[in-house]
Structure 1
Amino acid sequence: MLLDWSRIKTIFILTFLVLDIFLAIQYYQKRSSDQFDTIAESSIEEQLKENDITYVSLPKNSLKESYISGNSKDFSKKVMEDRKGQDIETYKDVLQSRLKKPVPIAKTNKIPFLENFVKEYIWNGGSYRYCQIDQNSKTIYFCQTYKDRLIYNIESSVVEIKYNDKNEIYAYRQRYLENLKEMVDKKNIQEALPAIKAIENLFVKDELKPSDRITKVDFGYYTVIPLSTGVKFIAPAWHIVVNEQQDYFVNAIEGQIIKIDKEQWSE
C-alpha cells in the first residue's frame, strides 16, 4: 500500500510538471504572438508616417463577418404599383423611371432631402442609403444596405438618380438584391481583418504613394462572384477612398483588393 501511494505521488508530480510546462509554453506563444502583432501594427503605422501618408480615424472594435448571398430582383415578374407622377419601364432586373414633372433638389440639407425623395418615389426606398455623387455625369448613387451597411455594387444593388443642369431630378434607375442571407452558421463566422490591415494591404501592393491621403474608411459589402443565375456572392469589405477620388475595396476576410475607377460608377 505504501509503495502504491509512493507511485501515485510520483504520477501526480509528473502530471502537474507536464501541465506546468504546457501552460508555460502556451503563455509564451501567446505573449510572443501579441508582441509580434503589436510590432507589425506599429511597423505599418511608422511606414505610413515616414511616407507622409495620412488617414482618417479608424474603427477600433473587432468585427466578425461572413460572406452573404442574394439574387437580383426580377422586376418584370411583378406588376409594379403605380408610382406617383412617374412613367415606369422594367427590364428584368432593372427598373427605369422618368418623372412626369422634375423635382428640384433642395439647396440646403441635400442628403436628408434625397433620402426622403428615395423613400417617397422609389420602390422599397427605405432599403437604400446615400452613397456618393458624380457631378460629371450628374448622377446621385444610393446603395442598398444589409444590416445597416452599404452594398457597393452598381451592377446589382444601386439606385442611380439623374438630375439636370437646373439641379432637378428627372429620372432614376433601380436595381435590387433580394433574399440576402449569411452563407455560414453564426458559430462559423470569421473575424474580419482590422482596418489598419486593409490599409497595409494597399501599401504593400504599392497602391498608396507618398503624401497620399486616405480620406474615407468604412465597412460594407462588395460583390465578388456574380453568377448567370442571378445569385451574387458578396464579400464583407473595407471601402477605402484615397485622395477623395480613388475607391478601393479590400476583402475583409481574405484581403484581396478591388480597385474601382470613377468611370465605373458612371457606366
Structure 2
Amino acid sequence: MDWNKTKSIFIFVFLVLNIFLYSQYVDSYKENQNVEVLGEKNIEAKLKDDNITYSDLPTIEKAAYISGKVKLFDLPDASQGMNTMYRVEDGDTLIVALQKPVKLRNMEATGFQEFIQQYVNDGASYTLWDINKEEGTAIYFQRLQDRTFYYSLKGLVKVYFTEQGEVYLYEQTMLEQLEELEKKKNLLPPIQIIQVLYARNLIKPDSVVTRMELGYSTLFQFTQTQVFAPTWEVRVRTPEGTVEEYFVNAVEGKVVDMQLDVKAVEEEEE
C-alpha cells in the first residue's frame, strides 16, 4: 500500500471537509437570522397548541462524520453458487440473477430480511427500507452498526420479485473502509430538529411525529471516497393519515433535500 498517497488523500479529505463545514456554518448563521428563535419551552407550547404530538425522543448527544470508499467488486465477491448468474457493472455494482427463483417465506419484512441475510454478501449490514409490491422491488440501505446511510446509491441492495413472492434478481453496491473523521460533534437535540421543521411549516397542525432516528446522509463525494454527515430522520403522520419523511443535518440543523437521491433510486429500479 502506498502510505504517502493514502496520507495525502486523507489530508485532502479533511481539508475539503473543514472548508465545507465552515461554509455550512456561515450559511446556517445567515439563515437563522431570518428564523424565529424558539426556546425549548416555547416550542413545546406551540406544538401543544397545534396538537402536534411526539413519542419518546432519542437522547444521542454526539456523533462523528464518516468517510468510506465505494467497494469495487471482483469475481470472488460475485461468486454466488451454482444457482446464479452474475455480472459486475461499472466496477461497483454487482448484479445477481437467480436461475431458480427463491420463494420468500412471506412478502413482509421478515421474509425479505431472511432472504438478504441468506443470499446476499454481507447481507446483515443492510436494513430493509421499502417494499413496493406493485413494482415488485424491495430496497435495503447499508448500515454502520445501527445507523443507516440514507439513499446512498453506493450502499444499497435492490431485490426484484414476482407477484408470487419469488426473488429472481438483486443488485448490490457497498461502502467499505468506513471510519470516523476527527472527533465526534455535538448534535442538535431532537426537539430542536422538530422546531426546525415546524418553523418551515413542514409539520402541520394535528400531525404526529412517529419516529426519529440518527443515521447518515451524503455530505460530498469524490470518485471513490464519500463523506457522510450525522442526520436525523424524522417521520411524520399527517392528519390525512399519510406518512412524510424528512432529513435534517444533526450538526448544522439544515434540512437535507433527498429528492435527487430518491429520484435516482427510483430510476435505477426501472
TM-score by length of 2: 0.75
The residue aligned with 1:155 is: 153
Question: Aligned partners of 1:66 and 1:191: how far apart in 2?
Answer: 9
The residue aligned with 2:52 is: 53
Code of the aligned partner of 1:200 = Q
The residue aligned with 1:41 is: 40
* 1:253-264 to 2 correspondences below 5 Å: 253-261=251-259, 263=263
The residue aligned with 1:87 is: 85
Code of the aligned partner of 1:222 = S
Superposition deviation, residue 208 in structure 1: 1.6
User: For each residue in 1:133-169, what CA deviation from the matched residue of structure 2 results, as whole angstroms up to 9, or x when unmatched?
Assistant: 2344332122211122111124111111112222222
Aligned residues: 223
The answer to whether 1:198 aligns with 2:193 is: yes
* Contact 2:78/2:94 (8 A) holds in 1: no
The answer to whether 1:114 aligns with 2:112 is: yes
Superposition deviation, residue 46 in structure 1: 1.6
Aligned CA distance change for structure 1 residues 164 and 89 (closer, same or farther; 3 Å): same
Question: Aligned partners of 1:57 and 1:83: how far apart in 2?
Answer: 46
SS in 2 for 1:253: coil
* Contact 2:69/2:176 (8 A) holds in 1: yes
Give ranges in structure 2 of 5+ residues lacking alignment.
1-37
Find the structure with the greater CA-based Rg. 1
The residue aligned with 1:131 is: 129
TM-score by length of 1: 0.75
The residue aligned with 2:71 is: 73
Superposition deviation, residue 218 in structure 1: 1.2
The residue aligned with 1:26 is: none
Superposition deviation, residue 251 in structure 1: 0.8
Aligned CA distance change for structure 1 residues 84 and 48 (closer, same or farther; 3 Å): farther
The residue aligned with 1:145 is: 143
Relative to structure 2, which stretch is displaced further, 195-204 or 129-138? Answer: 129-138
SS in 2 for 1:189: strand
Question: Aligned partners of 2:66 and 2:75: how far apart in 1?
Answer: 24
The residue aligned with 1:181 is: 179
The residue aligned with 2:165 is: 167
Question: Aligned partners of 1:79 and 1:150: how far apart in 2?
Answer: 23
Give ranges in structure 1 of 5+ residues lacking alignment.
1-38
Code of the aligned partner of 2:266 = S
SS in 2 for 1:258: coil
Question: Aligned partners of 1:99 and 1:208: how far apart in 2?
Answer: 44
Percent of residue pairs bearing the same amino acid type: 30
The residue aligned with 1:14 is: none
Aligned CA distance change for structure 1 residues 62 and 149 (closer, same or farther; 3 Å): closer
* Contact 1:247/1:259 (8 A) holds in 2: no
Question: Aligned partners of 2:193 and 2:132: how far apart in 1?
Answer: 25
The residue aligned with 1:237 is: 231
Superposition deviation, residue 76 in structure 1: 4.5
The residue aligned with 2:221 is: 226
